[in-house]
Amino acid sequence: MFKRSVFVAAYLALSAGAAHAEFSGGVIKIGVLTDLSGTYSDISGQGSVIATQMAVEDFGAAKKGMKVEIISADHQNKGDVASSIARQWYDRDGVDAIVDLVTSSTALAVNQVAKEKNKVALVSGAASSDLTGKDCTPNTIHWAYDTWMLANGTGSAIVKTGGKTWYFITADYAFGHALERDTTAAVEKAGGKVLGSVRHPFPSSDFSSFLLQAQASKAQIIGLANAGADTTNAIKQGAEFGITRGGQNFAGLLVFITDVHALGLNTAQGLIVTTSFYWDLNDQTRAWSKRFFEKHKRMPTMVQAGVYSSVLHYLKAVEKLKADQDGAKVIAQMKAMPTDDPLFGKGRVRQDGRKIHPAYLVEVKKPAESKAPWDYYKIRTTIPADQAFRPEKEGGCPLVK
């Protein structure tokens, strides 16, 4: 079954007399490959398509005489579906760059296809830090966040406040495994101990059995190495089974603002979350998020913010090169130029393909503290850009000499 929806937004070139750049097929074509119908469609999905459109508008492609076209498709969170769409896009439809790629299994699959075809993949949705570790390629940049950032932010913060023993409830695929591995390392480094873990099929709706096993482990902290509806269901059912009343606490290792919105502050209050973007950080993020909200009726997640930022930087690099055919060359240009956008501020892209920016350790507000809809986070600590991500030489990426 190959469900594919295509939204086309063509920004026509003003064919002024200016010197024309050599774009393949005369157009820069960006493909948003994401989850449009499943469990991750709120954190990425249509919102990522909107973020891409906003990036193209804000870049001012039309004014600069660059023709940019956006298409999108639903990969259903399946690696095989994602790689076959990617092949078709790169080979037949003239797509130059694929963005978003939520779900690590799809990102890892497309990562390989992009390298093989020498095109561009800009990952914002997926989390696995392997994308800039052993699986890094000269054709991929990992943008918004990764499992190391989450583990380092949330994991070490919780150990420092006394959560010494951990038990993991882990989604049984590439992302969950990577998040569990990175968090275990962070917890042990901070002096904590991991007592065990249970792996649940992805996606799951009933977590009671796994929660009982976590309860029986007597660990102080139950680490949720999953995302989206899996996380919200686990937290909601944990409240039912008296997890917090029994003295245990949840650590939601990957919680998006849409998850907090879905849970409601009553259930979500007090959760410690690591995020690389929050709409209410400063005037620029507020202004941009307001525009986004008008189009999408939801506040942006860090994935959607990452998609915007990555597309903007990609277009800048292509503008500078005046060419988009050679994927590795475009990526090299993106690494050479510093990044700057209203959402993540100034930053850069490392040799291993990791985009560097600050991360924020936040706490979910109590219902009484929240002044308006979507007013959910208190910033506890800002983790500076050079500490937020795994040091370049520790990832094992062959591109780092």
The binding site for another protein (CB under 8 A) comprises: 37-43, 45, 172, 198-201, 203-206, 208-210, 212-213, 215-216, 228-229, 232-233, 236-237, 240-242, 246, 258-259, 261-264, 266-267, 298
For residue 198, the minimal CB distance to another protein (Å) is: 5
Q: Which is nearer to another protein, 45 or 223 (CB)?
A: 45
Q: Which is nearer to another protein, 4 or 393 (CB)?
A: 4
Tokens of 98: 């694929």
Residue 370 beta carbon to another protein: minimum distance, rounded to whole angstroms = 15
| Beta carbon nearer to another protein, 132 or 197 | 197
Q: What angle do CA 115, 322, 9 make, to 5 degrees?
A: 80
Which of 129/258 has CB closer to another protein? 258
Provide the 3-class DSSP secondary structure of residue 142: strand
Beta carbon nearer to another protein, 176 or 353: 176
**Which ranges of 163-206 does DSSP label H, i.e. alpha helix?**
174-189
Nearer to another protein, 139 or 275 (CB): 275
Give the residue with the Cβ less far from another protein, 262 or 332.
Answer: 262
Shortest spacing between CB 193 and another protein, in angstroms: 21
The amino acid that residue 297 corresponds to is: K
Phi-psi label, residue 345: left if phi above 0, alpha if psi -120 to 50, beta otherwise: left
Helix or strand holding residue 225 (H, E): strand 221-225
Residue 387 corresponds to which tokens in the numbers above? 């500490």
Q: Write down the least CB distance from residue 119 to another protein, Å.
A: 29
157: buried, middle or exposed (CB in 10 Å: 19+, 13-18, 0-12)? buried
Q: How far is the CB of 256 from another protein (least distance, A)?
A: 8
* Residues 149, 141: Cα–Cα separation, whole Å: 15
Q: What is the DSSP string of 334-376?
A: HHHSPEEETTTEEEEE-TTSBEE--EEEEEEPPGGG--STT--
Nearer to another protein, 37 or 282 (CB): 37
Q: How near is the Cβ of 23 to another protein at its closest, in Å?
A: 34
Do 99 and 28 contact (CB within 8 A), yes or no?
no
* CB proximity list for 372: less than 8 A, separation 6 or greater: none
Our CB check for another protein shows the closer of 68 and 225 to be 225
CB of 205 to another protein, least distance (A): 5
Nearest to 342 by CA among 141, 142, 62, 55: 55
CB of 239 to another protein, least distance (A): 9
Pairing of strands 249-252, 221-225: parallel
The b-or-e profile of 375-388 (16+ CB within 10 A means b, else e) is: ebbeeeeebebeeb
CB of 156 to another protein, least distance (A): 28
Calpha distance 399→292 (Å, rounded): 36
Instruction: Report the amino acid identity of residue 111.
Output: N
